[in-house]
Amino acid sequence: MLRVLFGVVFAVAFSGAVLAQGFPSKSLTVIVGVAPGGTLDTLARLLAKNMSVDLKQTVIVENTVGAGGLVGLKRLMQAPADGHTLMFTNMSLVIIPHLHPSANVNPVKELEAVGLVATVPMVLSVSNKSGLKSLPELLERMRKEPGKINLGSGGPGTTAHLSEALFLHLSKTKGELVQYRGSGPALTDLVAGVMDVVLDQTVTMMPLHQDKRILAIAVSSQQRLPQMPEVPTFKEGGLPEFDLAIWNGVVAPKGLPVGVSARLVESISRAIDGQEFKERLAQLAAQAPSQSQRGPAPLMKLIEQDSVMVAGLVRDVGLIPK
């Protein structure tokens, strides 16, 4: 019996090693569950370009959009666990089971983390027509007039939607979460003064703030950003609990061979350490993971933590529209 068991274990390990030696044997596909443009797509394409050089295979970015990310997730889960089909995603991944409970998907149990690529701070901005000039002023108004302030995002399950719900929860304030079809319309209404507040990633917020079309009043980084040194942190504004940075990383179908995973981690790490990648991250005010943050385990820990956090927001804040 022991011989049989040992034989099975050896065969599985050997087959995984053989697969890893021949990897990649064809082009790779990186699924992105959002439309082209924006932080997630931008980082995915930059990563694909650099991994293609390292792996000596074409790495194709495939924008598989629909149902708040569910279409892209299902596309990944149906792919072979051989490393040739991956997904570039962020914390919005963990809200999919709550948006579509009948789909019976569980990213924590049904996906394989490959590695963290970058973390991006969030920027809290207000309309110039709001009369607000700082985070303390915003919090004071929200407490005096509960539910009067509206907060716009690019739709249910987006990082902006999650972040705004968390902001309300941590600040113990009430506001109206308004969902748009994409961050573009939300920002257009913020500029026009139709929307009071938008909380989104640096890449979408910095240009509008720098052009003085909106006013950024807080960033979720530990220190002020060099790109916007005049904007205080949430800690400086009186809400140190809000220290959220959006992770961006690579996941794969469950059952990815260890050797293949190791090769992918190596390729991602080389891409991150490249000069072009570093310069682009600096432009986005994003941060590359340290050596200790790379690989499957740190990313899976983030996915698990965010899954618990989102479940709490669904329960306590009414994150999912009725």
Report the CATH number at residue 69.
3.40.190.150
Tell me the backbone φ, ψ of residue 221, rounded to 5 degrees.
-85, 165
Q: Report if residue 8 sits inside a domain.
A: no
Shared domain check, 149 and 115? no
Shared domain check, 154 and 205? yes
Shared domain check, 132 and 59? no
Q: Give CA angle at 290 (115, 239), nearest 5°.
A: 95
Instruction: Return the pLDDT at 313.
Output: 82
Instruction: Return the pLDDT at 20.
Output: 64
Q: Report if residue 192 sits inside a domain.
A: yes
Instruction: Return the pLDDT at 8.
Output: 47
Q: How many domains does the chain have?
A: 2
Shared domain check, 95 and 136? no
Instruction: Report the alpha-carbon distance of residue 209 to residue 231 in Å, rounded.
Output: 10
Q: What is the tens place of the pLDDT at every residue in 193-220? A: 999 999 999 988 999 999 999 999 999 9
Q: What is the tens place of the pLDDT at every residue in 131-167? A: 999 999 999 999 999 999 999 998 888 888 889 999 9
Range with the poorest average pLDDT among 78-82, 83-87, 253-257, 307-311: 307-311
Give the SS3 label for residue 59. Answer: strand
Arithmetic mean of pLDDT, 265-281: 95
Instruction: Return the pLDDT at 154.
Output: 84
Instruction: Report the alpha-carbon distance of residue 198 to residue 179 in Å, rounded.
Output: 11
**Could you tell me how many helices (H) and strands (E) the chain has, helices first?**
12, 9
End-to-end CA distance of the chain: 55
Shared domain check, 143 and 211? yes
**Which amino acid belongs to residue 33?**
G
CATH number of the domain enclosing 126: 3.40.190.10
Cβ atoms of 248 and 122 closer than 8 Å: no
Residue-averaged pLDDT of the chain? 90
Domain range for 135 = 121-219
* Beta-carbon count within 10 A of 295 CB: 21
Shared domain check, 112 and 93? yes
pLDDT above 70 covers a percentage of the chain that reads: 92
pLDDT at 14 over 80: no
pLDDT at 1 over 60: no
Tell me the backbone φ, ψ of residue 29, rounded to 5 degrees.
-115, 130
Cβ atoms of 203 and 118 closer than 8 Å: no
Shared domain check, 253 and 210? no
Q: Report if residue 16 sits inside a domain.
A: no
With cut-offs at 50, 70 and 90, classify the pLDDT of residue 19: low
pLDDT at 5 over 70: no
Instruction: Return the pLDDT at 322.
Output: 53
pLDDT at 11 over 80: no
Q: Which of 226, 218, 184, 174 is nearest to 199 (CA)?
A: 218
Higher pLDDT, 169 or 313: 169
Q: Report if residue 94 sits inside a domain.
A: yes
Range with the poorest average pLDDT among 128-132, 156-160, 238-242, 269-273: 156-160
Q: Report if residue 11 sits inside a domain.
A: no
Shared domain check, 115 and 156? no
Q: Report if residue 21 sits inside a domain.
A: no
* Beta-carbon count within 10 A of 104 CB: 8
Q: What is the tens place of the pLDDT at every residue in 111-120? A: 999 999 999 9
- Sequence-distant (6+) residues with CB within 8 A of 299 are 113, 114, 115, 116, 247, 249, 250, 251
Instruction: Report the alpha-carbon distance of residue 161 to residue 153 in Å, rounded.
Output: 5
Shared domain check, 195 and 141? yes
Shared domain check, 115 and 34? yes
Instruction: Return the pLDDT at 13.
Output: 46
155: left (phi over 0), alpha (psi -120 to 50) or beta: left
Q: Report if residue 232 sits inside a domain.
A: no
Shared domain check, 133 and 113? no
Arithmetic mean of pLDDT, 172-177: 94
Cβ atoms of 115 and 294 closer than 8 Å: yes
Cβ atoms of 244 and 90 closer than 8 Å: no
Q: Which helix (DSSP H) or strand (DSSP E) does residue 312 occupy?
A: helix 296-316
